[in-house]
Amino acid sequence: MAEWNAYYHNEDEEEAEEREAPGGEYKATGRDSLVFLVDASKEMFIKGEDGQPSNFDMTMEVVRNVYIHKIESSYRDLLALVFYGTEQSKNPRNSFKHVYVYHDLDEPGAKRVQEVNALRGEKGAHLAAKLMGSGEASLGDALWCCSNLYSDIKLRLSQKRLMIFTCRDEPHVGDSTKDRQARIKASDLKETGVVIDLIHLMKVDGFDVSLFFRDIVSPPEDESELGLQLEPCDKLEDLKKWVQAKEQKRRLARMSLCLGEGLDVAVGVYATAVQAQKPTPVRLYRETNEPVHSKTRTFHTQTGSLLLPSEIKKVQVYGKKQIVMERDEVDAIKKFGDPGLFLVGFKPMEKLKLHHHIRSSVFIYPEEDEVKGSACLFSALLKKCSERNVLALCRCITRRNCPPRYVALVPQLEEADEGKLQITPPGFNIIYLPYADDMRTLDPPHCPPASQKQVNKMKEIVYKLRFTYKSDAFENPVLQQHYRNLEALALDMMAPEDIDDHIMPKVDQIDHRLGPLVQEFKDLVYPADYNPETKPAPKRKAADAGSGAEKKAKVEVTEAELRTHLQNGTLGKLTVPVLKEACKQFGIRTTGTKKQELIDALTGKLGP
Amino acid sequence: MAGSKSALVLCMDVGFSMSNSAPGEESPFDSAKKVIQKFVQRQVFAETKDELSLVLFGTDSTKNPLSQDGQYQNITVHCPFMVPDFTLLEEIEHQLHPENQQGDWLDALVVCMDLLQTQTRGKKYDRLSIILLTDLNAAASSDNLDVIVENLKKAGITLQFFLPFPVEDDEEGQGDGDRRGPGDPGAGKGLSREQKSGLEMVKHIMLSLYEEEGLDEIYTFRNAVEQLCMFKRIERRPVAWPCQLTIGSSLSIPIVGYKAVTEEKLKKTWITVDAQSKKKDDVKKETVYCLDDDNETEVQREDIIQGFRYGSDIVPFSKIDQEQMKYKHDGKCFAVLGFTKQNMILRHLFMGSNVLKIFPARDDEHAAVALSALIRALDELKMVAVVRYAYNRCSNPQVGAAFPFIKPSYECLMYVQLPFLEDLRHYLFPSLDKNKKIAPSEPQLSAVDSLIDSMMLVGEDENHDQKDLFKPHHLPNPHFQRHFQCLHHRAVHPDSPLPAMEPWLAAALDRPEVIKERCQAPLEALKKLFPLTEVEKKKRLKTSAQIFGKDSEEPDAKKAKEDEAEEYNLADIAEGSVSSVGSVDPARDFRTLIKQKSLPFGEVCQQLTHRIEQLLSNKNTHYYMKSITCIQAFREQSVKQGNADLFNSYLQSLKRSIPSRGLEVFWDLLVQDAVTLISKVEVEASTVSRDEANQFLMAEEKKEEAAAVPAEDTGDVDDLLDMM
C-alpha cells in the first residue's frame, strides 16, 4: 500500500471533497494552486544553438500558457511566479535576498498574462535583466519564501504544487550549508502538503538530478519513477505537454465495475476529451457593472402565493388525455438501479463499429484506496482483454435516476515516448453505444461505383495531400477569438490579437500540390458541361418551366454518340433518363431502373 | 415517419369460432383483441398522424356501405378513419366482445378495400394498408380471389394477416424460425377443413401480391403481441444537408449529409401543473435578479448586461459587441484539410454527439461517381479525409474525420467530429505493469482468461454462422419503454401506483441466460483468487461544532479583503464595537462581525449557530422567529461570502435533528419562509444543485405525509457531510 499512498498523498484534500459526488459530475470545491519557481541565473538566459530560445524564454512561454489555460478552464485556481537567483529582491516582508516574487498567489487575470508576456523573447530578457538581474542563488530562501506565500492564503486549497524550473543541477555550487538549508525547507514544504516538481531544462553537459535535486523534489508517484522525468526537456512542445499533464488531474466520478456478485472493482472515471465551451456569461448590473444573482420562484397565478414543490405535479398529454404524475414518480421512472458498471460479456474488438458513437468517451483507472485489490483485478482484466483483443460490454448507470446505457470497455495499454513521458495511460476507454432508437433509418441512394481508373486518379490526389494527424493540432477558432476579444476588452487594447484559423483548408497549398491532377480527375468523372457548383434541382426546374412538352425529346441521344460512349466506356456519364430513352430507341426491354442495369442492357445490345 | 401519414384498416373477426379455445389457453378472440390494443396504444404514444378504422366481422348486426340484398352480411364498420386516441382505446376495451355469427373474411376484405378507396379520396396518404385478424374458420368463397388481388395491386394497398396458427414451412422454403415458435397455439395438424382451405387462399393472395416475401407478412397472434409489447421506437425524418465537398479551390463534389446515429431524446417534456387544479396556467415561474447587497435589491431585467470572466477580471461584453466581434465564417462547408491514415484517428477521441453519413447529391450521377472514387480510394489506402465541417453560418465550425464506408448495397462517407486542442485533457497515471505489488500472478491471469471464455457473447452456432447474443443497438432504449409503460398505466389506471418494469425489458437488459449459467464457475474462481476489501472510510463528522471546528482555520479572508472599502459606513460605526454574537440581536451582531472581519468567518458562524441552538431550546414561537432571522442572516452572509458549505451543512444537521428534538413546528416555519440550502446558482462553490435545494424542503413535507424517509435524500445528506 505504501506506493499507493504516496501516489495519493497529494490528493488527500481533494479526496475528501470528491466523495460528495459519487457518480455525479465533478464539483470543484477547493482550489488548486501552483507556484512557478524559476531560476533567473545567467545560465538560464543563454540562447541555444541555431537561435533556439533560451531556457528562460521557454519557461516564460510555458508559464504564459498555463496562465491562459487556467483563465480559460479554471480561473479560480491560484498561480504565483517567483524567481530565485536574482540580483534584486522583492518579497512580502523583504526578508529574503535574491528572491523576486513577480506574482504572489492569486487568480490569474488579464494583467498578469500581460506581465508574463513582457518577459518573453529578446525584450523579455532585457526586462528581466533590468528588473531583477542575476545574482547569487539560495534555493532554501526561495522555498521558504514560497511557503510564506502558501501560508498567507486563507482559502481552502485542494492541491498545492510547486514547480522548479532550472538548468543548474548544483544551484549552490558546493555550498553545503545552503544545500542543507534547501533540503530542510523542501521537506517543511512537503510536510504541509506541497508537491514539489522539478522541471529541469537542457544543460550542455547533462543535468544530474542525483547531485542535489533528488532530495528536494517530492517522491515519485510509484515505483516505476514515473514522476521523475529522466531526460531534461529541450523542446518547447514537450515542456508544455509535460507541465500541462502534471498540472491537471480531475476525476469525474468514482464507480464500481461489477464483474459478478461480490466482485466489485473500484474505478475512477476521467474525461480525456471534453468539448470546451465558451464560458457562460455573468449577469451584471448596468450602472455599476457588479454581478447580480438570480432567484427563481414558482407561484400560483390566481392567489399569487408561492408554490411549494409539493403543490406541483407533472403532466404529459397524449391522445388528447392529460396524464398526471408526482414529481418523484417522474424521477422514479428513470431509475433502473444503482450507479455503476455491470459486466454483460465480452466481444471481439471488430464488433465495435465506427459509427457506434453517440458521445465522447471517458477513461477508467482503478481506485486502490477505495477497494483494496481493485488494481490487481483491473490490471489482469486489462492485460487479458488487450492480449485477446476483446472488449468488455457493460451496462452503465452514471448517476442515480439515470437510465442505463451500454458501453464498450476498450483496453488501452500504457505507452511512453522516447523521453519516457507517458503518452497513453493504462486503463479502459469507455465507448458509449447507441440503442435502436438512436440509429436513424436512411434511404441511401443506389449509385454506380466509380471505375478503377477513376479510383486510381483519386488515390493520386489523396496521396499528394496526406499528412500526419495529431489530435492536438487544431485550436478551436471560435474559442480563441472569444478569449482574444475578452483579453482585448480587459486590457483596453485597440483590437484583439489576430487568431490563426487552424481548421481553414490551405487552399493555395492544396492547389499547388495537386497541380493538374484535379483537372485530370474531373475529366474522368464529370462531363464537359457539368458544373458541380450549381444545384441539379433548380437547373431541372428551369428547364421544366420553359419546355414541359419537350422534356422527353431533350433526353435523346443519337446512335453514333451512344456508340462512342460505349467504346470509350463512358456510358456512365449519361443520365438515367437518357439511358432509358436510349433503351427504348433500340427496343431493349429492361425492367431495371438502376443505372448499371441500363448500361449493362445497352452494352449487351450494342456491344461486340 | 413523421410528416407522412398512412391510412390503415384494422379488420377483426369477432365470430363465434374466435372464442373457441383449448382449456387453459387464451381464445383467439382475446389474443386478437390484445394485438389490436397494443397496436393502437403504440399509435397513440407515437403520436403519428396515421388514421385508423376498425371493421368487425362475424357481428350479429350488419353495418357497412356495401350490404345489399343479403350480400356482405355480418360486417360492421365500427369506426371510420380517425387519429387514434384514448377514447378509441376505451371503446376497444369495453365494446369489443365475441359475437355469435360467422362472417366471410373475403367479404370483409372487400369492405375494407372499399372503405379505403371511398374514404381516402381527395386526401393524401403515403400508405394504405389493411390488417386482417381472423382464425379463417368461416367458409369463404374463392370465386373473386384474383379480382381482389388485382384490385389490391391497383390501389396500392398493402395487406397483412394475423392468424392464431403459423403458416407451415412448405416447399417455398420460408425457413424463418424466429417467427414461428413451437409454442404457438394451434400449430400442427389441428386445423379444420375451412381453415385449411382458408389458409390456401391466404397463401395464394400473399404470394400473388408479394411473391416469396408475401409469407413473411403473415403473423401469429402470439408473436405479434410479443413484438408489440415494445413501444414504437422513436423515428425522425432524416433532414438532408446538401453541401459541396471541396478539395482545394477547384475540385468540388455535390453531397448530401444525414445524421445517421445520434442520441435520441423523448419528444415531450414534463409540464408543471398545480397539484389541485391540474392546470398549467395556474403555475407561474418567475426569475428576479438581485444585487449582492444586504437587502438583495432587485434589479430590472432591462438593467442587466452581459459580462464574461477573464480570470479574476469580469469583462462587460454586450451581446451586440459579442456578435460583432465573434468568429465569423463563410457558412456551410465540408472542406478537406488533408488525408491521413485511419489508425491515426483514435476511437476514444471521437467527439460530438452524432455520426453523419455523406452521400452524393440526389439524382446526380456524376457526383455519385466522383464521391465513389473518393470513398474507394480512401478505403483502398486505409485513409480518412480530415475535414472542416460547418453546418451553417450560425453554427461553430468543427474539425472531423470522414471515413470510407462500403456496404454491398451502398457506399458513403461517415463523418465524426474530432477534438480541438482545448478539448483534450492529458493525464498521467502510475503504471500498472511495473508495480510488482499489484501485478497479477499466472493463476490469476488464467482465471480471467476463463472468465472471458465463458462470457464471450459472439460465437459460432451449429451452422458456423456467427451469432451475437447481445446487440445493444438492437435494443430499444429502456428509458423510453419504461416511460411509455408508466404513462400508459397512469392513463388507464389513474389512481394506482406505477407498475413494475415489464419482465421482458428487465430480461433484455440483463446478461443472456446462457452466459449467466456459463460464467458461474469462473466467477467463483475469480472471487477466490482476487480478494477485494473495501477500505474503511474516515469517521464522519456529525455535530455542527465539529464541522465548524475544522473549517474555521481557513476563513475566507481573501474575499473579505475585496469587500472592505465599500462596506465601511456610518451605520457600522454607530453600532459600536461588537466582539461576539450576543443574545439580544444575534442576527445584527452576526452581520456586524462579518463586516468588521475581526474574526474569521467560520468562527462568527459558529458563534451564531451556538445562539440559534440556545434559542431553539426554548420551545416558543417568539424564539423560533428569532432563530429564523438568524438563519436568514446566516444564509445571506454565506451567499455574500461565497461560502455555502458552512450554512448548508448546518441546515442539514439541523434538519436531521428536528424529529429527535421535537422541533417540527419550527421547521414548518422555516419551510414557509422557504429558507433552503444555498445552491450552485447562488454560490458557485456550492455542492448543492438548484433542484436539490428546492427538494430539500419538499422532502421534509413528504416525510410528514408518508412517514417514510426517501432513501435517496438521506444519502445526499451523508454525502455532503462527508466532504466536510
pLDDT score for A8: 30
Give the nearest partner residue to A360 out of B303, B351, B399, using CB atoms.
Answer: B351
pLDDT score for A15: 31
Give the nearest partner residue to B491 out of A321, A446, A472, using CB atoms.
Answer: A321
Confidence of residue A170 (pLDDT cuts 50, 70, 90): confident
pLDDT score for A498: 84
Residues of chain A with Cβ-Cβ distance to B648 below 8 Å are: none
* Residue B20 pLDDT > 70: yes
Residues of chain A with Cβ-Cβ distance to B239 below 8 Å are: none
User: Mean of the pLDDT values across residues A138-159?
Assistant: 85
Confidence of residue A232 (pLDDT cuts 50, 70, 90): low
ipTM, 2 dp: 0.74
DSSP-derived 3-state class of residue B71: strand
What Å distances lie between residue B572 and A563, B559, B567, B602, B607, CA to CA? 102, 19, 8, 21, 20
Q: What is the DSSP track for A233-302? A: B--HHHHHHHHHHHH-----EEEEEEEETTEEEEEEEE-SB----PPPPEEEETTT--BEEEEEEEEETT
Q: Which residue of A has its CA nearest to B680?
A: A27
Confidence of residue A29 (pLDDT cuts 50, 70, 90): low
DSSP-derived 3-state class of residue A533: coil
Which one-letter amino acid corresponds to residue B154?
K
pLDDT score for A419: 63
Among B33, B57, B21, which Cα is nearest to B162's?
Answer: B33
User: Mean of the pLDDT values across residues B151-158?
Assistant: 86
Confidence of residue A238 (pLDDT cuts 50, 70, 90): low
User: Mean of the pLDDT values across residues A593-605?
Assistant: 73
Give the nearest partner residue to A462 out of B252, B378, B710, using CB atoms.
Answer: B378
Give the nearest partner residue to B468 out of A3, A351, A358, using CB atoms.
Answer: A351
CB–CB of B371/B377 below 8 Å?
no
Does residue A540 or residue B39 have the better pLDDT?
B39
Q: What is the DSSP letter of A439?
A: B
Q: What is the DSSP track for B543-603? A: SHHHHHHHHTTS--HHHHHHHTGGG--HHHHHT----S--SSSHHHHHHHHHHHTSS-HHH
Residues of chain B with Cβ-Cβ distance to A320 below 8 Å are: 85-87
Do B532 and A440 lie within an 8 Å CB cutoff? no
Residue B143 to chain A, least CA–CA distance (Å): 32
Strand partners, B218: B161
Q: What values do phi and psi take at A177, rounded to 5?
A: -65, -45
* Residue A389 pLDDT > 90: yes
User: Mean of the pLDDT values across residues A119-128?
Assistant: 87
Do B434 and A479 lie within an 8 Å CB cutoff? no
Q: Which cell numbers in the block locate residue B193?
A: 377443413
Of A222-226, A419-423, B601-605, minimum mean pLDDT range: A222-226
What's the sign of the alpha-carbon dihedral B463, B466, B468, B471?
Answer: negative
CB–CB of B65/B118 below 8 Å?
yes
Confidence of residue A227 (pLDDT cuts 50, 70, 90): very low
CA gap A534, A538 in Å, rounded? 8
Give the nearest partner residue to A410 out of B348, B426, B474, using CB atoms.
Answer: B348
Q: Which cell numbers in the block locate residue B428?
A: 498521467
User: Mean of the pLDDT values across residues A396-422?
Assistant: 87
User: Mean of the pLDDT values across residues B161-177?
Assistant: 59
* Residue A224 pLDDT > 70: no
Q: What is the DSSP letter of A515?
A: T
* Residue A600 pLDDT > 80: no
Q: Helix B621-641 vs helix B664-672: angle between axes, to the nearest 10 degrees?
A: 50
Residue A179 to chain B, least CA–CA distance (Å): 30
User: Mean of the pLDDT values across residues A521-537?
Assistant: 80
Chain A interface test: which of B455, B474, B652 (most A C-beta within 10 Å): B455
User: Mean of the pLDDT values across residues A409-419?
Assistant: 86
Residue B543 to chain A, least CA–CA distance (Å): 17
Query: Could you report the per-residue pLDDT of B197-228, keeping only the tens digit for each?
Result: 888 888 888 888 887 777 777 888 777 766 66
Chains A and B: how many Cβ contacts under 8 Å?
741
CA gap A103, A114 in Å, rounded? 12
Helix (H) or strand (E) run with residue A180 in it: helix A176-191
Query: Could you report the per-residue pLDDT of B324-356, keeping only the tens digit for each?
Result: 888 888 889 999 999 999 999 999 999 999 999
User: Mean of the pLDDT values across residues B624-652?
Assistant: 84
* Residue B402 pLDDT > 60: yes
Do A450 and B369 lie within an 8 Å CB cutoff? yes
Q: What is the DSSP letter of A222?
A: S
Residue A176 to chain B, least CA–CA distance (Å): 34
Does residue B157 or residue A15 have the better pLDDT?
B157
User: Mean of the pLDDT values across residues B229-239?
Assistant: 67
Residues of chain B with Cβ-Cβ distance to A535 below 8 Å are: 242, 254, 361
Do A153 and B671 lie within an 8 Å CB cutoff? no
User: Mean of the pLDDT values across residues A360-381?
Assistant: 92
pLDDT score for A369: 83
pLDDT score for A94: 81
Among A250, A247, A191, A178, which Cα is nearest to A218's?
Answer: A191
Do B312 and A107 lie within an 8 Å CB cutoff? yes
* Residue A179 pLDDT > 50: yes
- Residue-averaged pLDDT of chain B: 79
pLDDT score for B517: 92
pLDDT score for A593: 66
Residues of chain A with Cβ-Cβ distance to B211 below 8 Å are: none
Quickly tell me which residue has 430480461 as its cell.
B507
Query: Could you report the per-residue pLDDT of B576-613, keeping only the tens digit for each?
Result: 567 778 777 888 888 888 887 777 888 888 888 888 88
pLDDT score for B709: 32
Residues of chain A with Cβ-Cβ distance to B303 below 8 Å are: 285-287
Query: Could you report the per-residue pLDDT of A273-297, keeping only the tens digit for each?
Result: 888 888 788 888 888 888 888 888 8
Q: Which residue of B has its CA nearest to A467?
A: B340
* Residue A543 pLDDT > 60: no
- Residue-averaged pLDDT of chain A: 80
Do A315 and B273 lie within an 8 Å CB cutoff? yes
pLDDT score for B181: 40
CA gap B345, A473 in Å, rounded? 12
CB–CB of B601/B594 below 8 Å?
yes
Residues of chain B with Cβ-Cβ distance to A436 below 8 Å are: 233, 473-477
Q: Which span out of A45-49, A367-371, A403-407 was modeled with the highest average pLDDT?
A: A403-407
Confidence of residue B266 (pLDDT cuts 50, 70, 90): confident
Do A458 and B376 lie within an 8 Å CB cutoff? yes
For B266, residues 6+ apart whose C-beta sits below 8 A from its C-beta are B234, B479, B480, B483
* Residue B633 pLDDT > 70: yes
Residues of chain B with Cβ-Cβ distance to A380 below 8 Å are: 440, 444-445, 447-448, 530
Which one-letter amino acid corresponds to residue B353?
S
* Residue A535 pLDDT > 60: no
- Do β-strands B251-262 and B241-247 pair in parallel, antiparallel, or remain unpaired? antiparallel
Catalytic residues of A: 27
User: Mean of the pLDDT values across residues A55-80?
Assistant: 84
User: Mean of the pLDDT values across residues B406-427?
Assistant: 90
Q: Which residue of B has its CA nearest to A352?
A: B347
Residue B635 to chain A, least CA–CA distance (Å): 14
pLDDT score for B427: 79
Q: Whole-angstrom distance between the N-terminal and C-terminal Cα of chain A?
A: 82
CA gap B113, B290 in Å, rounded? 67
CA gap B717, B714 in Å, rounded? 5
Chain A interface test: which of B421, B501, B509, B636 (most A C-beta within 10 Å): B421
Residues of chain A with Cβ-Cβ distance to B412 below 8 Å are: 444
Q: Which residue of B has its CA nearest to A462?
A: B339
Q: What percent of chain A has pLDDT over 70?
A: 83
pLDDT score for A237: 66
CA gap B80, B65 in Å, rounded? 12
* Residue B397 pLDDT > 50: yes
Residue A605 to chain B, least CA–CA distance (Å): 22
pLDDT score for A3: 33
Q: Which residue of A has its CA nearest to B274?
A: A312
Q: CA geometry: angle at A365 spanning A361 and A368, to 5°?
A: 155
Does residue B518 or residue B679 have the better pLDDT?
B518
Give the nearest partner residue to B554 out of A3, A155, A319, using CB atoms.
Answer: A155
Residues of chain A with Cβ-Cβ distance to B692 below 8 Å are: none
Chain B interface test: which of A261, A318, A351 (most B C-beta within 10 Å): A318
Query: Could you report the per-residue pLDDT of B439-477, keeping only the tens digit for each?
Result: 899 999 999 999 999 999 998 777 777 788 899 998 888
pLDDT score for B320: 83
Give the nearest partner residue to A382 out of B339, B344, B432, using CB atoms.
Answer: B432
Torsion of CA A409, A414, A417, A421, to 10 degrees: 110
Query: Could you report the per-residue pLDDT of A544-562, keeping only the tens digit for each?
Result: 443 433 434 445 667 777 7
* Residue B429 pLDDT > 60: yes
Query: Could you report the per-residue pLDDT of B109-142, keeping only the tens digit for each?
Result: 999 999 888 887 777 787 888 988 988 887 777 7
Please state, as a whole number, how many other Cβ atoms lie within 10 Å of the Cβ of residue A297.
Answer: 12
pLDDT score for A544: 40
Q: What percent of chain B has pLDDT over 90?
A: 21
User: Mean of the pLDDT values across residues B353-371?
Assistant: 92
* Residue B690 pLDDT > 70: yes
Q: Which residue of B has its CA nearest to A323?
A: B491
User: How much of chain A is in helix, strand and coil states, percent to nearest 5?
Assistant: 40, 20, 40
Does residue A332 or residue B561 have the better pLDDT?
A332
What Å distances lie between residue B697 and A543, B567, B647, B668, B694, CA to CA? 70, 33, 15, 9, 6
Give the nearest partner residue to A358 out of B263, B403, B421, using CB atoms.
Answer: B263
